[in-house]
Each structure stands twice: as C-alpha cells, then as structure tokens.
C-alpha cells in the first residue's frame, strides 16, 4: 500500500498532538514513533498543520511529474479552482506559468465540477433520495465508506470534479497524460485509484516546480484579475466549489423539496453523519477542511486576510468570463461507493477492564478522560491498545504518578541526603537524611533559606558561575557532620540539587587512626632513642674494660719477658 502521508522518525517527540487532533484516530504510536494507518486515514491532512516539529511529510510526486514532462506524450494540467486563493485569480497567467514549466496545456477542473453539479441536480429532481450528500470531497467519501457505511445510501453516486474533468479530457485528448493540481492530499490517492489521472500535485509542489524552473509567476492583483482572461474564459459558476456553500452556489436552480446546507470540517461532518437518519429533505455540501478547499492542507497560506480574503478572491474569480458554459454530454460520471473494511477488533468489557487496570484505573472515577494520550476517553485508548495502535505508557497521568512515586520512594529512602534549592537558594525539596545532616526537620527546612543551615558559597558558585562540585569533602556548619557533597544544576531550570554522603564515621575513624599512628610513631621514636642511649652506655663500659684489659695484658707480657731474660 502506497504511503501518502507519514512521519519523520527523527522529529517525532511523542507529544501525541497529531493523534489528539486526528478526527478518526488513524495514527499508531508504538516504540516512540507515530505512523499513519493508511487503511484508516481519510487524508484530511489535519495532522500536517498541527505538528509543532514539522514531523509530517506528504509524498512528493514532483520527480514523477518531471519525468512525464520530459516524455513523448503531452501532459495536460487539470487545475482546481482553489488556485485563485493560493496564487492569484487569473487562470491565463497561471496557465502560461505551467506551459513554461513543460505542460502542453492546462484547463480548469471547474469544467468537470459543472458536470458534477448537473448530475446532482438530476438526482435531486428525481426525488428518490431522502437526503443527498455531495461526493466532491474524497476525504468525506472515505470517511463515510469506512466509518459511517450506513450513510452510503445518501452519498451521491457521482465521481468527483477531478475525475469528471479527467474523463472529459481523456475523451478529447485520448493519448495525453493528465496531472491534477490542487490543495488536497486526498486527491493523490483518488488520482491513483481513478484510472484516468496519472498524478496529482499539490499547490505546494507546483510552487516548488515553478521555483526550480526559475519561473517568476507575476500574477495580477485580485482587482485587475477580475477583468483578466474574460475574453477567453467562459463563465462557470462551478468555480465557487472551493468555498463554503460553493457547490450550492453552482446550482442554477434548486429542486423542490430539499434544503441546501453546507458543512465544513470533519468534526461537524461526523456529527451530521452520526445523525443523518434523523434528517430528511437535505442536500448536504460537505467538506473535510474548515472553510472548504481554500483552506486545504497544501494550500499556499496568505499572510493577510485569511480565509475571508481567500473566499472573496474566489468569489470575484467565479464571476469572470464572457459567456455561460454548458455541461458536456456523452461522459459517464456515475460511481458506486462501497463500504471499506475496518479491521480493528472490538474488545470485550473484560479486556477493556484489564487494560485500564494496567494503568491503575480500577473504578470509573479513575478514568480521567483527560485526552493527554491523544484519545478522547480512557476506554477509547484502551481499545487502541487492544488493537496494537497504542501503548500502555501513553497514559500521561499514570506515567507521571508512577515516575513521581518511584522518584519519591528513591529519594526519601536514600541513605544519602538529597535536597533541591531554587535560584534564591531556598530549599524546595529535601529528604529526611538531608534534614538530619543539616540540623533540622523536613517540615522546618522546606521553604527556608539554605544559609540558615550551611555556608552557601559553593551553591552560589554553582548557580551563577556554573562551577559544579563532585564529592567535595565538607564540614556542615550546624551539626559538625562531615559529608562528601555533590552539587549539580538541573538542566534548563534555575534549580540546584545536592547529594550529601555522610562520611563522619570515616572521618572520625581516620582521625583516631592518625592519632594512634602519631602516638605509635612517638613511642617508637622514644624506644629508639632509649636503646641508642643503652648502646652508647654499653659501648662506653666496653671501652673502659677493654682499655684496662689491654694494660693488664701488656704488663703481664712485660713481666714474662723479664723472667725469660733472667
């Protein structure tokens, strides 16, 4: 299955904003990555406008179209009337820019829209429809086909203006290639499925083509454009199609027995479709985009005036032309819309309860329905988990409570003292161990200036000079305790946290050990000195005795010598 819209993995931040804004919840969030469910997506493109990180990307068909433009077959552009709001209300100028870009010719999709309106009128005149829903918007058609199949009986069995126009062009130019140009993402899938359209470019893509080709589309102002092209273009009320009540305005006359109403935006469309069987005698012009096609997901947004200015511009353009165009004949525009499969399973009450219990929701009052996960209710999110489209961890209140509880238990039961201070060095949070070390209680210390209990010099250096400390040996002022202190700044916040390891016993032990070493060294020194004195005394005594012995021996030798001579 071809992807028309997806997410850049590197940019997805798990904020769930796209899921929260998706009208049909066609987004799977697994493994920290959001993915489009193509089988469920109606390609309204709403998620592309709400993503703060620009993580969504629309499939780009510029390369494929450029290849066509370089081929042998001529390429014809079918241009949606919403172009007047994104570029300027002068089709002749826009057509010239397209021809410069390589297109052989260009025509207005409004020619096909005129045919579609004629089909709607005939269906209403027939009187067999209790209600009739316009089939011009492919996102609405897909919404009904997947999510509101009971409303298919009210959906007009007529192709969209894009397909109608392509069939007209095929009849006139059987060997051409056709590229639709408009503000809609859903047209890309419709073009692929149509069998008569070779590619669909968004206004953003064709604007890129112009820029890459160096085409400076100098379009006239809306006032000048009101008269531009009048000589060549036929007046066509179907140019009103891209604005609210535009389809209704394209009718030359209204059929008896019907009210004609316009519904824009998928939220309103879903509300109407949910209650369609309660209505009677309604022709409903229905658009997926708020303010209709002029506010399509790939329209070129104007800085001033917004949708009101865009509406005014299209209305002025729709009034241009010199003669009234007539519907073509001989082109089949009927279409049978069928129910599309929704493979999601419906979980039992037991399975829902089990999933809810995994996030601490065991009673109805536990179901906050806060919408932080992107789903409207906790039960809706549980069903998504059951279908493998969401994860248990997407429950923000549960994960926050779990994280806070875990952090609290770790901090409060830590053998180390832990506390945090703000940029004024006021104690914000503290555990019992830190309070004991600093000489107070948790309730007393919390909200107090740190300087009441400890010299704040190191903390000031950490806060304002980014001089952080790890394992600094410090004696606490109030209690005299010795700690190894680590001070760090909390990232992106003016907060400091401090971890204190009590090393008082180690310090006391080392002090006693050092004292014993000193005493032992002193005793050893005294023993050595005493022994040296003993040695010296012994040596002295030995010296006197040796001298006396020597004298005695000499005398004995001399005496013996005298006796020998006699």
Domain CATH for 4 = 3.30.70.20
- Which residues are registered as beta bridge partners of 202? 182
Residue 484 contacts residue 500 (beta carbons within 8 Å): yes
With respect to residue 513, please indicate whether it lies within any of the assigned structural domains. no
**Residue whose token pair is 């429809």:** 129
Domain CATH for 436 = 3.30.450.20
> For position 228, what pLDDT does the model report?
46
- Looking at the structure, do residues 400 and 423 belong to the same domain, yes or no? no
- Looking at the structure, do residues 182 and 231 belong to the same domain, yes or no? yes
d(CA 61, CA 297): 16
Task: Provide the pLDDT confidence category of residue 526 given band limits of 50, 70 and 90.
Answer: confident
pLDDT tens sequence across 136-170: 999 999 999 999 999 999 999 999 999 999 999 99
Q: Is the pLDDT of residue 97 over 50?
A: yes
- State the chain's mean pLDDT as an integer: 89
Residues 297-307: what's their mean pLDDT? 79
> For position 535, what pLDDT does the model report?
73
Helix 378-386 / helix 349-357 crossing angle, nearest 10 deg:
100
Residues 448-452: what's their mean pLDDT? 93
> For position 163, what pLDDT does the model report?
98
Q: What are phi and psi of 377, to 5 degrees?
A: -135, 160
With respect to residue 326, please indicate whether it lies within any of the assigned structural domains. no
- Looking at the structure, do residues 131 and 236 belong to the same domain, yes or no? yes
With respect to residue 521, please indicate whether it lies within any of the assigned structural domains. no
d(CA 237, CA 389): 44
Domain endpoint, select from 502, 523, 545: 502
Which residue from 332, 325, 389 is spatially nearest to 355, judged by alpha carbons?
A: 389
- Looking at the structure, do residues 172 and 305 belong to the same domain, yes or no? yes
- Looking at the structure, do residues 208 and 112 belong to the same domain, yes or no? yes
Residues 384-401: what's their mean pLDDT? 90
- Looking at the structure, do residues 305 and 376 belong to the same domain, yes or no? no
Q: Is the pLDDT of residue 223 over 60?
A: no
Residue 485 contacts residue 504 (beta carbons within 8 Å): no
Provide the edge-to-edge strand list for the sheet that holds 259-264.
131-133, 282-287, 259-264
State the pTM of this model: 0.76
Q: Is the pLDDT of residue 226 over 60?
A: no
Domain endpoint, select from 301, 318, 335: 318
- Looking at the structure, do residues 234 and 95 belong to the same domain, yes or no? yes
Q: Is the pLDDT of residue 25 over 70?
A: yes
Give residue 15's domain range. Answer: 1-59
Which residue from 131, 128, 182 is spatially nearest to 160, judged by alpha carbons?
A: 182
- Looking at the structure, do residues 236 and 300 belong to the same domain, yes or no? yes
CA–CA distances in Å: residue 102 to residues 72, 99, 210, 379, 453: 12, 5, 10, 54, 79
> For position 224, what pLDDT does the model report?
46
**Cα 520 vs. chain centroid, distance in angstroms?**
70
Residues 212-229: what's their mean pLDDT? 60
Residues 95-107: what's their mean pLDDT? 96
Task: Provide the pLDDT confidence category of residue 124 given band limits of 50, 70 and 90.
Answer: very high
- Looking at the structure, do residues 287 and 157 belong to the same domain, yes or no? yes
- Which residues are registered as beta bridge partners of 487? 469, 498
Q: How many structural domains does the chain have?
A: 4
Residues 349-373: what's their mean pLDDT? 93
Residues 206-224: what's their mean pLDDT? 75
Q: Is the pLDDT of residue 52 over 50?
A: yes
d(CA 520, CA 532): 18
Helix 186-194 / helix 138-147 crossing angle, nearest 10 deg:
80
Q: For 309-373, give the DSSP string.
A: HHHHHHHHHHT--SSB----SS---B----PPP-------HHHHHHHHHTTT--SGGG-----TT
Q: Is the pLDDT of residue 225 over 60?
A: no
With respect to residue 557, please indicate whether it lies within any of the assigned structural domains. no
- Looking at the structure, do residues 27 and 169 belong to the same domain, yes or no? no
**Residue whose token pair is 């009540």:** 245
**Residues in the chain, how many?**
566
Q: Is the pLDDT of residue 304 over 70?
A: no
Instruction: Flag the least confident range among 75-84, 215-224, 310-319, 538-547.
Output: 215-224
With respect to residue 158, please indicate whether it lies within any of the assigned structural domains. yes
- Looking at the structure, do residues 199 and 128 belong to the same domain, yes or no? yes
Q: Is the pLDDT of residue 242 over 50?
A: yes
Residues 411-416: what's their mean pLDDT? 86
Task: Provide the pLDDT confidence category of residue 322 given band limits of 50, 70 and 90.
Answer: low
DSSP annotation of 516 reads H
Which residue from 414, 486, 478 is spatially nearest to 445, judged by alpha carbons?
A: 478
Residues 451-479: what's their mean pLDDT? 90
With respect to residue 546, please indicate whether it lies within any of the assigned structural domains. no
d(CA 169, CA 177): 9
- Looking at the structure, do residues 184 and 274 belong to the same domain, yes or no? yes
> For position 433, what pLDDT does the model report?
93
With respect to residue 205, please indicate whether it lies within any of the assigned structural domains. yes
């Amino acid at each position: 299955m071809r992807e028309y819209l997806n997410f850049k993995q590197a940019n997805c931040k798990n904020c769930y904003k796209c899921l929260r804004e998706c009208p049909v919840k066609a987004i799977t969030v697994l493994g920290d990555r959001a993915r489009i469910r193509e089988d469920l997506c109606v390609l309204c493109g709403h998620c592309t406008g709400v993503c703060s990180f620009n993580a969504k990307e629309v499939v780009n068909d510029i390369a494929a179209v450029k290849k066509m433009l370089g081929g042998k077959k001529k390429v014809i552009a079918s241009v949606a009337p919403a172009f007047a709001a994104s570029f300027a209300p002068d089709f002749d100028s826009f057509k010239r820019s397209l021809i410069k870009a390589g297109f052989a010719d260009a025509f207005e999709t409004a020619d096909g829209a005129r045919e579609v309106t004629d089909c709607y009128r005939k269906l209403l005149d027939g009187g067999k429809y209790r209600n009739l829903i316009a089939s011009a918007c492919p996102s609405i058609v897909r919404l009904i086909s997947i999510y509101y199949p009971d409303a298919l009986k009210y959906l007009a069995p007529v192709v969209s203006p894009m397909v109608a126009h392509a069939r007209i062009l095929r009849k006139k130019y059987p060997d051409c290639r056709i590229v639709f140009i408009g503000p809609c993402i859903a047209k890309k899938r419709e073009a692929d499925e149509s069998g008569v359209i070779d590619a669909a470019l968004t206004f953003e893509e064709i604007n890129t083509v112009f820029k890459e080709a160096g085409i400076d589309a100098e379009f006239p102002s809306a006032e000048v454009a009101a008269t531009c092209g009048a000589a060549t273009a036929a007046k066509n009320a179907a140019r009103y199609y891209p604005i609210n009540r535009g389809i209704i305005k394209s009718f030359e006359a209204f059929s008896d027995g019907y009210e004609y109403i316009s519904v824009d935006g998928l939220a309103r469309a879903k509300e109407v479709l949910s209650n369609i069987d309660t209505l009677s005698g309604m022709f409903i012009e229905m658009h997926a985009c708020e303010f209709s096609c002029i506010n399509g997901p790939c329209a070129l947004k104007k800085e001033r005036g917004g949708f009101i200015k865009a509406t005014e511009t299209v209305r002025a353009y729709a009034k241009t032309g010199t003669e009234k165009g007539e519907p073509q004949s001989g082109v089949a525009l009927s279409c049978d819309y069928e129910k599309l499969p929704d493979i999601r399973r419906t979980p039992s009450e037991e399975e829902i309860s089990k999933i809810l219990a995994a996030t601490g929701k065991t009673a109805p009052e536990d179901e906050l329905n806060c919408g932080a996960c992107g789903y409207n209710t906790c039960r809706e999110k549980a069903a998504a988990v059951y279908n493998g489209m969401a994860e248990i961890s997407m429950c923000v209140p549960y994960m926050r409570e779990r994280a806070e509880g875990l952090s609290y238990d770790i901090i409060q039961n830590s053998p180390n003292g832990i506390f945090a201070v703000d940029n004024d060095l006021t104690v914000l949070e503290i555990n019992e161990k830190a309070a004991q070390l600093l000489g107070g209680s948790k309730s007393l210390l919390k909200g107090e200036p740190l300087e009441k209990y400890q010299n704040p010099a190191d903390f000031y250096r950490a806060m304002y000079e980014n001089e952080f400390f790890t394992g600094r040996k410090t004696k606490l002022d109030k209690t005299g305790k010795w700690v190894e202190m680590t001070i760090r700044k909390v990232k992106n916040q003016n907060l400091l946290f401090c971890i204190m390891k009590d090393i008082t016993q180690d310090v006391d032990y080392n002090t006693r050990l050092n004292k014993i070493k000193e005493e032992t060294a002193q005793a050893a020194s005294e023993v050595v000195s005493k022994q040296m004195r003993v040695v010296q005394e012994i040596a002295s005594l030995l010296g006197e005795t040796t001298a006396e012995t020597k004298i005695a021996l000499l005398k004995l030798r001399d005496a013996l010598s005298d006796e020998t001579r006699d």
